[in-house]
Amino acid sequence: MNPAPEPSPTALQVTVVNGNLRFVPQPLLLGHYRSAALAGTEHVMDELIGGAMATALALGHYPEQPRSYEVFVNTRAARDNPLQLPRPKAVIVVGLGEEGTLKPVDLVRTVSAGVVAWARRLAESTEPDPRPLEIAATLIGSGGTGITAAQSASLVVEGVLAANERLSTSAWPRVHRLHLVELYLDRATEAWRTLRAQSAAGPAGFTLDEVIATGGGALRRPIDGGYRGARYDLITALSDEGRGGVSYTVDTRRARTEVHAHAMQKPLLRDLVAKASGAANQDGIGRTLFRLLVPVELEPFLAGTTDAVIELDGGTSGIPWEMLDIRTEGAAPARPWALGTRLLRKLRIKTHRTRVQDSTPSDRVLIIGEPACDPARYDRLPGARAEAEAVTRCLLAAGLDRDDVMGLFSRDPADLGARAGRVINTLLSDDWRIVHISGHGEAPREDGPAEEPRGVVLSDGIFLGAQEIRSMRVVPELVFVNCCHLGARAPGDLLEEGGYDRPRFAATVAEALIEVGVRCVVAAGWAVEDRAAQAFATTFYRQLADGSRFIDAVAAAREAAYAVGGNTWAAYQCYGDPDWTFRVKPAGTVAEPAPPEQAFANVASPTALVLALETIAVNSAFDEDEKGRLRANVEHLEERFADRWGGRGAVAEAFGRAWAEADRARAIAWYARALEANDGGASLWAVEQLGNLRVRVAWEGVSPWNASAGAPPSQDRLDAARAEIQAALGLLERLADAVQSTSERESLCGSAWKRLALVEAIAERPQAEEQAIARMKERYARAEELARGSGDAPLFYPALNRMAAELVADAAAPGWPGFDAARVEEVRASLQAAAASDPDFWSVAGLIELRLYEAVARGGLAGARASLEKDFADLQKRVASEWLWASADDQLEFVLSRYRNRASGPEREAADALLALLRGYAGRPLS
């Protein structure tokens, strides 16, 4: 075998990282599929850099189309911040367009453009950075359909290489190292394997690290086994020209798969569609449509989805997908699929407006009801006028001013509505956020000329059609068109991709709206019943006014119309962005999370349960919102599976880990159950955590913030806490002394002695306190030496605790020389190395802690107070875990409570303020 080629000294260095993005120090490159909300990574990064991304999205100045980009510099970073926090330095957002349409060549060029933009920003900086340029990136585009994690890794690297080639002709900096960051190990591994294969095949322009780096907050794989960046499943159903059937692609949170074209008899399908659109005839049609349209291998995906977008083309958009009945054989009668699943449509078109000027929150709402038309040809529509009135009342009741809502309908039921000239002039003379139209609609005539496209019927033989829609300079966010036959194509056009004229197809108003860039469209596919239509419309707008997402408002509206009866609920074909809201909430807010029964619906094995609990524990440590949902999530899983699999060691241990963030007493019970499991599935880590939790809970039971009305705990409570800590110490010391001494186990023993010293201080037993502190120093010193000798354990953690013991035991004594300068620099170097290469809570908190100890040692805590508070606050935005902050709070309680007793004035005030800050982060009452 020929040896691998020597890498070029200027080759791009690529590191694949399995970890959470919150501690990424490099400028971060990420992608944005067209959406009205910042979700997932974008939402998190926006919070960390100061909110500029959400502001840009709300102002319509956010990259959406491929090859568009925007650089958001981290405005929260301070020059005087010695920790170089917050991270990242900047976020470079690149547009990806509509999900499912991203082409590999566009992703490469988009990444390249984003990298060049950042290089330009650096070159223009008044304070150039002499260090080689490093950049981080997510697996861009892989959260949607069509781009896998492996493809994304390859294309992102190709994009960076293309940028470097362009930059080589300029003085702007080139990228020296690319960090590809992925939360899930299975996806990181997929990316790494692909890049390794490329690198091994020959000169690739880059060199790949030999292993995947592990960062903080890493997870093994998604709970559902699949991955999507969006909360909804995407099902593509496109017409197949050759076989006259439907070709499916499925991208769900459980799996991604392709299903070949499913052939069918087109005449039979047309007949069923015609019957389904009848006002009353729907018996059994949904089940027949399901069997005719859906291949057997697709059934599990449809049955398992809760939020779905179905992408259609001209040949499949006329099918009433909303009416599909997917119940299994022998099951009780089930409601149609679109009621059990929140379902939206998406239309795949080849022509669209390239530059879209969106409306703004200052634009108004236009409601058109029963416009005047020839009474000899068209019946009056009192239901359309009543619907317009009801929608107007609904929006006004929701808080919109009368000036915000323009009602273009007759207030007198006996009068005709607005004539054609007024309708067209009103529509085009102003900018509108929402346009609602209810009236007559006419599809193109089969024998009519292409320049007579028809649309909404107006007076004087005039129609509101595609030409008028294209004349709108500012595009509404939502258009609701309740007109007979307007949303559906002629039955003869179904599945005839090559058999229809695209201008005639584009002439229907609903499709023209999608072409010009309207974000959300609701169009009635057939004649609707008045009472059900009004229930749909008013419920829909009421939900939007309450801040619901488009997909949720549609679901609620369908339910309301379904309750009235008939098939009006299925007539509404709803296209658009699932996360769009009426901006009652600020743009950029993340969508409401799925309830536990939905989020964990696919947990069906002990292994999947352990993974779910592990994910809950990790996410709640990094995300304040996830922490708030922890209790409900774990209780849901406990209720479902505790009796079934709780006797397994690994499962009980996972429950213990999850509960440690929310209820330590329950965590202790689960860890104890794990050790008692007959299968021996619990790890030694569970023993360590059991001992550690018992110590912490015992200390918290007598701690100052738990004292009632400032009264000290009783002697009985102190005795009980002392006995519990000593019992847990026995467990931990047996593990360290009799099984194997490690730096971590020695540190846990030191931590237990520290908390025993805190108890003895409250009990006013100074001799016992001194003895506990001496044992604490001994254990932490042993842990420090083990870390120094092994090289694979963090030196800084035990060293900082040993320094804390020095401050408590020695600093108050006359003649204390202070910390050993060489040891302090050793600790600082260990912290900086960890924070640079593998940052986590402890390494970043340790840097802050070290500065605090140095300030206390020189009596300068008051001067350092402001910067310490700022750094602690920044870290809390990244890691919200009260469990971790409780440990940091205990450390400061140990050091600062004693320092404040011998200090005065500003120094005592600084100690009290810092203690109060960390008690708040730990979720503890202030005393």
pLDDT, tens digit (0-9, with 9 covering 90-100), for 301-334 = 676 677 888 888 877 777 778 878 776 554 445 6
Burial letters 299-336, b for 16+ CB under 10 A, else e: eebbebbbbbbbbbbbbbbbbbbbbbbbbeeeeeeeeb
pLDDT at 889 over 80: yes
**Stretch 650-661: mean pLDDT:** 91
Model pLDDT, residue 244: 61
Distance CA 547, CA 892 (A): 43
Is there a cis peptide before residue 86, judged by omega within 30 degrees of 0?
yes
Query: 385-403 b/e with 16+ CB inside 10 Å = b?
Result: bbbbbbbbebbeeeebeee
Whether residue 491 is predicted with pLDDT greater than 60 in this model: the reply is no
285 vs 494, residue with greater confidence = 285
The reported pLDDT for the residue numbered 145 is 66
Looking at per-residue pLDDT, the higher value among 376 and 118 belongs to 118
Confidence check: pLDDT of 485 > 70: no
Q: Which of 517, 494, 515 is nearest to 503 (CA)?
A: 515
Q: In this predicted model, what pLDDT tens digit does every residue of 127-170 receive, in sequence order?
A: 766 778 999 999 998 876 667 888 899 999 999 999 999 999 89
pLDDT tier at 707, thresholds 50, 70, 90: low
Q: Does residue 653 surpass a pLDDT of 90?
A: yes
Distant-in-sequence, close-in-space partners of 361: CB < 8 Å, separation ≥ 6: 58, 433, 583
Flag whether pLDDT at 706 surpasses 70. Answer: no
Section 702-722 average pLDDT: 78
How many CB atoms are located within 10 Å of the residue 25 CB? 18
Q: Which amino acid is at 640?
A: R
Written in H, E and C, the secondary structure of 568-595 is HHHHEEEEECCCCCCCCCCCCCCCCCCC
How far apart CA 557 and CA 346 sit, in angstroms, is 18
Q: Inform me whether the pLDDT recorded for 460 exceeds 90.
A: no
Residue 203: other Cβ atoms inside 10 A: 11
Could you give the CA distance from residue 702 to residue 689 in angstroms, rounded to a whole number? 21
Greater confidence (708 vs 529) lies with: 529
How many CA atoms are closer than 13 Å to the CA of 273, on its beta-carbon side?
Answer: 25
Would you state the pLDDT for residue 523?
85
Q: How far apart are CA 370 and CA 411, in angstroms?
A: 11
Instruction: Report how far residue 828's alpha carbon sits from residue 836's, in angstroms, rounded to the nearest whole number.
Output: 12
Question: Residue 44 corresponds to which amino acid?
Answer: V
pLDDT in tens, 45-95: 888 888 888 888 877 788 988 889 999 988 765 443 444 444 788 999 999
Residue 676 has pLDDT above 60, yes or no: yes
Contact by Cβ (8 Å): 108, 895: no
Residue 661 three-state SS: coil
Give the Cα separation of 251 and 884 in Å (integer): 37
pLDDT for residue 266 is more than 70: no
Position 505 scores a pLDDT of 34
pLDDT (average), residues 822-839: 83
Contacting residues for 458 by C-beta, under 8 A, at least 6 apart: 371, 372, 373, 419, 420, 423, 424, 464
pLDDT value of residue 759: 93
Kindly state the average pLDDT of the residues 11-25: 87
Flag the least confident range among 394-408, 713-727, 895-909. 394-408
φ/ψ of residue 472, rounded to 5: -70, 120
The residue with tokens 């930059």 is 167
Q: Among 32-46, 683-697, 850-864, where is mean pLDDT lowest?
A: 32-46
User: pLDDT digits over 433-442, tens only?
Assistant: 899 988 887 7
Tell me what the mean pLDDT of segment 901-922 comes to. Answer: 91
pLDDT, residue 252, reads: 64
- Band (pLDDT 50/70/90 cuts) for residue 259 is low
Q: Phi, psi at residue 176, to the nearest 5°?
A: -90, -40
**Alpha-carbon dihedral of residues 372, 375, 377, 382, nearest 10 degrees?**
70
* pLDDT tens string 347-373: 887 766 666 677 777 788 999 998 998
- Global pTM reads 0.62
**Using 50, 70 and 90 to split pLDDT, how confident is the model at 452?**
low
pLDDT at residue 583, rounded to an integer: 66
Query: Helix, strand, or coil here: 76?
Result: coil
Crossing angle of helices 796-809 and 821-837, rounded to 10°: 140
Rounded (5°) CA angle 370-373-377: 115
Q: Answer yes or no: is pLDDT of 691 > 60.
A: yes
Residues 713/762, Cβ–Cβ less than 8 Å:
yes
Cα separation values, 499 from 35, 144, 505, Å: 33, 31, 11
Radius of gyration (Cα) for the chain, nearest Å? 32
**Longest Cα separation, the chain:** 107
Rounded to whole angstroms, the Cα distance separating 167 from 174 reads 6
116, 660, 808 from 817: Cα distances, Å: 53, 40, 14
- 729 phi and psi, to 5 degrees? -60, -40
Mean pLDDT of the chain: 81
Q: Which of 485, 561, 525, 566 is nearest to 282 (CA)?
A: 566
Sole residue written with tokens 């602690």 = 872
pLDDT beyond 80 at 10: no
Q: Which of 416-425, 460-469, 620-629, 810-819 has the highest mean pLDDT?
A: 416-425
Class of residue 598 by CB neighbours under 10 A (exposed 0-12, middle 13-18, buried 19+) = exposed
Distance from C-alpha of 802 to C-alpha of 775, rounded to nearest angstrom: 11
Separation of first and last alpha carbons in the chain: 71
Coil, helix or strand for 717? helix
